[in-house]
Every structure is written in structure tokens, then in C-alpha cells.
Structure 1
Amino acid sequence: MEGMISFGNKRSYDDFKKQIPPQVLPLFDSIREFCFSLGENVVEDVRMHRVVFCKSMTFRWFIDVEPQKDGAVIKIQKNRKEPIEIIQINKSQQISEFGNFIKEAYEQVH
């Protein structure tokens, strides 16, 4: 699958999924799918406790997602001059409620 590049510890998303609570996994998967749908230059970096999505190999991240017991914490970065936005998403919410924030960050990060 394109866009699946891991830096550092070379963990795969399949390995990472094992630590996501089962009730949160559908939400996490939908966030991941949404990020990849933004463009062919989206890069995934699977880290120890979270997954970071970047724009191209310049590694400018626009979203950092960490699973929680009942949802996910999403950190959104549009550029280095603005503060990072933090959003808590509950497992019952849909990514479409926050899609515009993520898409805007993807488009503005450079």
C-alpha cells in the first residue's frame, strides 16, 4: 500500500493495531483512511504510542493520532508558527465531524 513508510523503529500499522482498544479500532482506521485520501504524498510514521501523518518525505507532519480507551487524541499542526490544536474524538463520533480541520492542516503544512 502506498504511503506506508515507517521511520525509526520500523513498526507497521498492523503491529500498532494490536495495542488499540477493539472498540476504538474502527475510529482509528477511519482516521487513517481519511488521511491517506488527502493525497498521494501522505506518509505514515508509526511510533511507539501514536501514528503521525506527514506530507511527503520532507516530514512536515499535519496530524498526530494517539488511541485512548474511549477514542483518540488528535494533534493538528498547520504550520510551525501557529500553536498545535488538540482534539479529543470519542469512539462514537465520526471522522467527518473533524475532516475539515485535518484537510486544512494538510493543505497548509509546508
Structure 2
Amino acid sequence: MEGIISFGNKRSYEDFKKQIPSPVLPLFDSIREFCFSLGDKVIEDVRMHRIVFCKSMTFRWFADVEPEREGVIIKIQKRRKDPIQVIQIKKDQGISEYTQIIKSAFEEIH
């Protein structure tokens, strides 16, 4: 799958999603799909408890997505010196009101 990079024994998304509560999985998947839709420079870094979306091989991250029991926490970073913005989305919410924030962060990362 494009947009995925692995160094050593990193986990795959298939392994990671087994730990996402089933009611939260559709929300998590929609966030993931949106991040990949931003362009071919998006790289997914699957970590132990979260997934970090980066722009190109510079690994400048723009979205750090972590599942919770009742939803998802997204940390947004536009520039290194800017404070990190934290968004909490409940499992029954959509992501439409947050897509512009994520897209803006992706576009502003250098």
C-alpha cells in the first residue's frame, strides 16, 4: 500500500487496528483515509499506541492520531515552534469539521 514506510520490525496498520475498539474503528479509518487523500507525500508511521502521519521522508509530522475507548485524539502540528493543537473526536462524530485543520497543517509543514 502506498504511503506506508517501515523501518525494522514496525507494526502494520492491520496489526494496529486490532487494538482499536470496534465502535471507534470507522472513525479512525476515516481519519486515516483523509490523511492519505492529502497527497502522495503522506507517510504513515505506525507506533505502539498511535499512528503519526508525516509529510515526505523528512518525517515532519502533521497529525498524531490515537484511539481511545470513546473516540480519537488528534494532535496537530503546523510548525515546530507553534503549540500543538489537540482535538478530541467522539466515536459518533464525523471528521468533516476537522478536515480543514488537518489539511492546513499538512500544507504548512515544510
Do they superpose with TM above 0.5?
yes
Which contiguous aligned blocks of 4+ residues in structure 1 show a shift greater than 6 angstroms? none
Match of 1:17 in 2: 17
1:32 paired with 2:25, answer no
Compared CA separation, residues 5 and 21, structure 1 to 2 (3 A): same
Deviations 1:76-103 (A, max 9, x none): 0001010000000001111111000000
Aligned-residue Cα RMSD (Å) equals: 0.9
Aligned partner of 2:96: which letter?
Answer: S
Aligned partner of 1:48: which letter?
Answer: M
The question of whether the paired residues in 2 share the 8 Å contact of 1:50 and 1:64 is answered with yes
Count, aligned residues: 110
Aligned partner of 2:46: which letter?
Answer: V
Aligned partner of 2:51: which letter?
Answer: V
Distance in 2 (alpha carbons) for counterparts of 1:9 and 1:95:
31
Deviations 1:8-59 (A, max 9, x none): 6410000000000000000000000000000000000000000000000110
Q: Which runs of 5+ in 2 are unaligned?
A: none
Alignment map for 1:65-80 (pairs within 5 Å)? 65-80=65-80
How far has the Cα of 1:106 moved from its partner?
0.1
- With normalisation by structure 2, the TM-score equals 0.97
The question of whether the paired residues in 2 share the 8 Å contact of 1:62 and 1:78 is answered with yes
Q: Which runs of 5+ in 1 are unaligned?
A: none
Distance in 1 (alpha carbons) for counterparts of 2:69 and 2:18:
13
Match of 1:64 in 2: 64
